[in-house]
Amino acid sequence: MTQQDAAAAVAAQPAAVEASDEAAPAPKKKGGLAKRVVFGVILGLSGAAVIIVGGWLYCFVACLAAYQLSQEFIGLVGAKGISKGMRPPPPLVNNAISLLCVALNAWVFITNGRAASAMAVATFMCLCLQLLAVRKPRFAQLASSVFGLFYCGYLPSFWIKLRLLAVPAVNSAAVAATVPPLLGGPTHLTVGLIAAFVAVSCIIAADTGAYFCGKSFGRTQLTAVSPKKTVEGAVGGLLSSIVVALGLYKFAGWPDNSLNAAALGTIVFFASLFGDLIESVIKRDAGLKDASNLIPGHGGLLDRLDSYLFTGACVYFFIKFCLGNFGI
């Protein structure tokens, strides 16, 4: 090797090092999973306590959630990816949407579950305000406002309607007598209390089963809407939801038979899965990974509750209109 060749080789070494450094993947943040688990447990325990207490505390938390959901939805609609093709509603309309979402949930609680006419009136008010606040409103603006009201206000109210199902569950009288009232909320074992617990437990089981089965066995993509979801993960989530529903049926004696319990677990799985996919569509168009950074390790409240939004309505419908005598 000549002296010139040696000098060229030495000069090329820093460039090679720099190129290898650029090609190396960025180090992953440590503690991400642990943070997600810790905050997930905190949210789960807090949610369980709120469900048990019920009453005004349950209503207050539902209203608070509806407000935050609406704020995050408004942020998604106003993101560059969506606003590029549609001018978002003005702040006056957005504030009205948030207030109406809260009012819908409070109304459902106060009226013991009546929501249809209130939703119609809230929608009419929202559209009228849009016509007054915008000189030439577009249909896309009207549609996004109505969907926000439905998605962040009306759907969460079904969890209130579900919890308000005050029919005493089978074999609960003896147990209910030992449970003291907490903060004025109903704590007796009603169909609403048990159904809310079963639905939430099945959602958690479905998410957990889908995650671990997909991570371990996932090979076949489920849908292009969410590329990380796999058929194998979906099957694991479905089986996990059914198993938890059957286990809680054996423990609580509700619903009245194992077939209905399995059907409930199946309904919860599909409602939670498609609820997740629907939010994925919104975030994809918005060009955002998370709705917000409210919850460390989980993103926004909408990211955490997207699986719950349609599930409450589906479970309520199944219990109210498909299960004879509320499944007792």
Distance from C-alpha of 295 to C-alpha of 297, rounded to nearest angstrom: 6
Spell out the alpha helix ranges (H) of 78-171. Answer: 80-83, 91-110, 116-133, 139-149, 155-163
Note the pLDDT of residue 12.
47
Of the pLDDT bands very low, low, confident and very high (cuts 50, 70, 90), residue 5 is: low
Helix-strand-coil percent breakdown of the chain, rounded to 5? 75, 0, 25
- Token pair, residue 166, equals 């005050």
Note the pLDDT of residue 239.
98
Note the pLDDT of residue 42.
84
* % pLDDT > 90, the chain: 64
| Residue 247 Cα distances to 53, 233, 241, 251, 255, angstroms | 23, 21, 10, 6, 11
- Mean pLDDT of the region 113-135: 94
Number of CB atoms found within 10 A of residue 226's CB: 17
Q: Which residue has the higher pLDDT, 292 or 20?
A: 292
- Give residue limits of the domains in the chain: 51-164, 168-177+186-328
| Residue 64 Cα distances to 41, 68, 98, 156, 275, angstroms | 20, 6, 10, 11, 20
Note the pLDDT of residue 178.
46
- Mean pLDDT of the region 255-284: 96
Q: Residue 171 corresponds to which amino acid?
A: N
pLDDT tens-place string over residues 39-58: 778 888 898 899 998 999 99
Of the pLDDT bands very low, low, confident and very high (cuts 50, 70, 90), residue 142 is: very high
With a cut of 90, say whether residue 220 has pLDDT above it.
Answer: yes
Rg (CA), the chain: 24
Number of CB atoms found within 10 A of residue 204's CB: 18
Task: Assess contact for 76 and 291: CB atoms under 8 A.
Answer: yes
Note the pLDDT of residue 171.
52
CB hemisphere CA count around 304 (13 angstroms): 24
| Residue 119 Cα distances to 113, 125, 144, 172, angstroms | 12, 10, 15, 35
**pTM of this prediction?**
0.85
| Residue 271 Cα distances to 52, 209, 215, 241, 309, angstroms | 23, 15, 22, 11, 8
